[in-house]
């Protein structure tokens, strides 16, 4: 899985030269379907998450954060995001289940493409300069 992501990432970086989005609309469509099926129940249909994502709930856990660029998903590289999706957060004291058994690397990349398609251009460029150069 790790190698697979690294290999795919090389293709992704080549596609992203010049600060352009690394994914195409077909990938976003695939990711959108996967997202509605697996993630929307917690993160919202448009990846808007929970508005008060910085506050723990009654059980002491953080609610599902937005993935649309308004929280801090953009602080993470593609391999880091892929790892969050694959492993989930339970082992780190969180509540998100891991999807590594159900989704392959390409599907996970499509999911990332989908929620990144929600990121405003300035957020995307900051992320790109930090993680894709
Ligand atoms: C049961 C609810 C739930 C489901 C289903 C779920 N998540 Fe999460 N997700 C969370 C919560 C809550 C967190 C915060 C960490 C934790 O508690 O595990 C999180 C964290 C994340 C993060 C890290 C965000 C950051 O800012 O670092 C990513 C990325 C993510 N989820 C993506 C996904 C994707 C993609 C799916 C679908 C394949 C998904 N999640 C399904 C609840 C969920």
CA distance 16 to 80: 18
- % of the chain beyond a pLDDT of 90: 83
Ligand 1 interacting residues, C-beta cut-off 6 A = 38-39, 41-43, 61-65, 67, 71-73, 76, 81, 84-85, 88-89, 94-97, 99, 111
Phi, psi (5° rounding) for residue 28?
Answer: -65, -40
Averaged pLDDT, 56-64: 94
Contacts of residues 117-124 at CB distance under 8 Å and 24 or more positions apart, as own/partner, are: 117/21, 117/23, 117/28, 117/31, 118/46, 118/47, 118/67, 118/68, 118/69, 119/68, 119/69, 119/74, 120/69, 123/69, 123/74, 124/21, 124/69, 124/74
**pLDDT tens, position by position, 28-56:** 999 999 999 999 999 999 999 998 999 99
Residue 2 or residue 39, greater confidence: 39
* CA of residue 88 to ligand 1 center, whole Å: 7
Q: Which atom of ligand 1 is nearest to the CA of 90?
A: 18
**Residue 1 banded pLDDT, cuts 50, 70, 90:** low
**Average pLDDT in the chain:** 91
* pLDDT band at residue 93 using 50, 70 and 90 as cut-offs: very high
CB burial of 30-39 (b: ≥16 within 10 Å; e: otherwise) equals bbbebbeebb
* Confidence at 18, pLDDT banded by 50, 70, 90: low
Q: CA 43 from chain center: how many Å?
A: 11
Per the model's pLDDT, the better-predicted residue between 49 and 3 turns out to be 49
């Amino acid at each position: 899985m790790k190698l697979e992501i690294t290999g795919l990432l090389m293709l992704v970086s080549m596609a992203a030269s010049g600060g352009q989005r690394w994914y195409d609309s077909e990938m976003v469509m695939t990711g959108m379907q996967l997202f509605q099926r697996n993630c929307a129940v917690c993160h919202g249909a448009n990846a808007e998450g929970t508005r008060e994502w910085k506050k723990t709930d009654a059980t002491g856990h953080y609610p599902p954060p937005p993935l649309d660029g308004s929280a801090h998903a953009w602080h993470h590289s593609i391999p880091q995001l892929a790892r969050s999706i694959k492993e989930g957060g339970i082992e780190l004291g969180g509540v998100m289940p891991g999807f590594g058994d159900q989704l392959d690397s390409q599907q996970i990349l499509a999911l990332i493409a989908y929620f990144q398609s929600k990121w405003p251009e300035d957020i995307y460029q900051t992320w790109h300069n930090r993680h894709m150069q």
